[in-house]
Amino acid sequence: MVSTAISAPKTPSPKVGPTTPDVLLRVDGLLDEEERQIRDTVRALVRSRIAPEIAGWYEAGELPARDLAVELGSLGLLGMHLRGYGCAGTSAVAYGLACLELEAGDSGIRSLVSVQGSLAMFALHAFGSEEQKEQWLPQMSAGRAIGCFGLTEPDFGSDPAGMRTRATRSGDDWILNGAKMWITNGSVADVAIVWARTDEGIRGFAVPTDTPGFAAHAITSKMSLRASVTSELVLDDVRLPDSARLPGATSLRAPLSCLNEARFGIVFGAVGAARDCLETALAYARSRTQFDRPIGGFQLTQQKLADMTLEYGKALLLALHLGRAKDADGLRPEQVSLGKLNNVREAIGIARTARTILGASGITGEYPVMRHANNLESVLTYEGTSEMHTLVIGQALTGTAAFR
C-alpha cells in the first residue's frame, strides 16, 4: 500500500563557520557536470600558471603571449565555442565560464583568449573562405598562430562607420592604407583581421603580418591592462591578393557581429574579476585585526561584504541567463549590452569597495584588487563604452536612436 502522507520539505543543514560567496549562492547547482569540469580545469590553470606570475607581468608591463597561447590552446580554450577546424565546439555557457575564470586571474589573459577566439577566429569562421579557414583556424586553435582584430582607429572608436582605413583595387589585388589603434595582440599577431572602406562598402581582410607595408607598434604607457599586448597597426600600401578578402563580410554588420561575440565573453569575464576581489576582501577581513578583533566582525565591513556578494551573485545569474539564452536561440545585440553594462559596472564597484576593506594594502601589488580595478576601467570602455551600451538599451526600449 502506497502511503499518501505528505513529507515535509527538506531543509538544508545549517552551515557552520564562514562560507564562500559561491557556496552561499549554490553556484554548482546551476551548472551541469561538463560545465563544472571546464570551469574547474580553467580555474586550476589560472591558479597554477597565471596567479604566481601575474603581479610581475603587470608591474613589468609585459606578457609572454606566445607561450601562453600554446598552453591555452593545448586545453582547447582558443575558439572553444566554434565548431570544426580543431575547435572544441563547446556551449556558450562553457565558454563564458572559461572567460570568468581567466579574468579572475587577470583581464589581460581573458582579452588574449577573447580577441583570439571571439574576434579574429570568429571573423574567419563566420566570414572567411574555406581556404582561409583551413590556413588559419587549426593553427590559431592550437595557439601556434595568434590573431588580432583591427577595427578601432585613432579617431573612430564608438563610430566605426567613420573609419578612414581604405582598400582600393589594383588589378586583381587590393592596396590597404590606414591605421588601427588599441589593438590587443597586435604586435605578436601572425594574422590581422583588418576592416577597411572600399568603393562597395566595408570589407574585411586577413592580413599576414609579415606582408610588406604592415607594421605593429606596441603601446607601452598604460596604467591598465598592463599584462596584455596592446598595439597600433599601420598599413602603408599593403598589397594583398583578392584571396585575402573575407568573402562573407559585405558590410559593417560583419565586424559588429564579431564584437557581440567578444562582448558576451566580457559579460562573464567581469564577474571573474569581481569574484577575485570579493574573495580577497573576505580573506583579508577574517585575518586583519583592529581594536582587538578581526575587521570582518564590524558591522560596516559586513555590510560591504554582503552588498558585494549580492551584486556578484546578480551579475553571475545575469551572465548565466544570457548564456542559456544564447545556447537556446541566440542573443540580440541589445541583450548583450544589458550584460556588459551591468556586469562591468558592478565589477568596478566591487573592486573599489574591496579596496576600502584592504585599506592601504589594497593599493599594493601584493593583492590583486587595485590591478583588477585598473583593468576594469579599460573593460568598461572597450568593445562599447558604457554610454553606448546605455543608448543601445534605450533604443531597444523606445525605438529611437539617441546617438545618430
Is 383 tagged catalytic?
Answer: yes
What count of other Cβ atoms lies within 10 Å of the Cβ of residue 256?
Answer: 15
226 torsion bin: left (phi>0), alpha (psi -120 to 50), beta (else) = alpha
Catalytic residue among 71, 131, 383, 387: 383
Active site amino acids: 383
